[in-house]
Amino acid sequence: MSQRYAARTDVPVERSRMEIERMLTRYGADQFVSGWDQRASMIGFRIGGRVVRLEIPMPDRANRDITHSQTGTRRSPTQAQKAYDQATRQRWRALKLVLTAKLEAVAAGITTIEQEFLANLILPTGQTIGEWAGPQLEAIYERGALPALLPGAEP
């Protein structure tokens, strides 16, 4: 199995969050917010007149990757906390990588804010487009009424 991006990072979450905030500002964001609960961390920002919300699922403390070592031995509470902290740092570094790629693609004219962040754009209801469209997509797949892959081709 390949190792995850930034799996061994020692960059604190606070520094990653600050780097993300600065980067968003450089790419034109004019608002930024972040928050967390035990389930997920969240960032929100406004860029190009669009409001974006991204949730970063936090590791499950009961997950075997946290509670046990790679050799299968149960970790002490201190070791499990270190594994949890490492997984959390890794996720924030991965988020920074994703945002860097998306924002640079937009800046280079390869894509648009809407294309890169469509599922994360916030609707007037407070839901993201992804939250709103997800159940509808599920229903489409259940009915089996899928569109053709190529325009003009049979479904």
Kindly report, residue by residue over 40-89, the tens digit of the pLDDT. 999 999 999 999 999 999 999 999 999 999 999 999 999 999 999 999 99
Asked whether residue 2 is assigned to any structural domain, the reply reads: no
Token readout for 63 is 């997950």
- So what's the pLDDT on residue 49? 95
Residue 8 lies in a domain: no
Which pLDDT score, from 0 to 100, does residue 1 have? 47
Answer yes or no: do 30 and 53 share one domain. yes
Mean pLDDT across 101-120:
98
The verdict on 87 and 105 lying in the same domain is yes
Residue 150 sits in the same domain as residue 116: no
pLDDT range class, residue 146, cuts 50, 70, 90: confident
Q: What is the phi/psi pair of residue 35, to 5°?
A: -165, 180
- What strands, in cross-sheet order, belong to the sheet with 50-57? 31-36, 40-47, 50-57
117 shares its domain with 143:
no
Note whether 84 and 25 are same-domain residues. Answer: yes
Q: Calculate mean pLDDT across residues 92-115.
A: 98
**Domain-embedded: residue 101:** yes
Single out the residue of 65, 80, 88, 78 nearest to residue 14, CA to CA: 88
Mean pLDDT of 32-39: 94
* Residues 148 and 94 occupy one common structural domain: no
Q: 33 and 66: one domain? A: yes
Distance between start and end Cα atoms, the chain: 36
Beta bridge partners of 46: 31, 51
Q: Please tell me the pTM assigned to this model.
A: 0.88
In terms of domains, do 98 and 155 share one? no
3-state secondary structure of 147: coil
Residue-wise pLDDT for 1-32, tens only, equals 468 899 999 999 999 999 999 999 999 999 99
Q: How many domains does the chain have?
A: 2
pLDDT for the residue 150: 81
- Residue 90: φ, ψ to 5°: -60, -45
**In 3-state terms, what secondary structure has residue 128?**
strand
Structural domain range at position 43: 13-122
Question: Which is nearest to 116 in space by CA: 132, 129, 125, 135?
Answer: 129
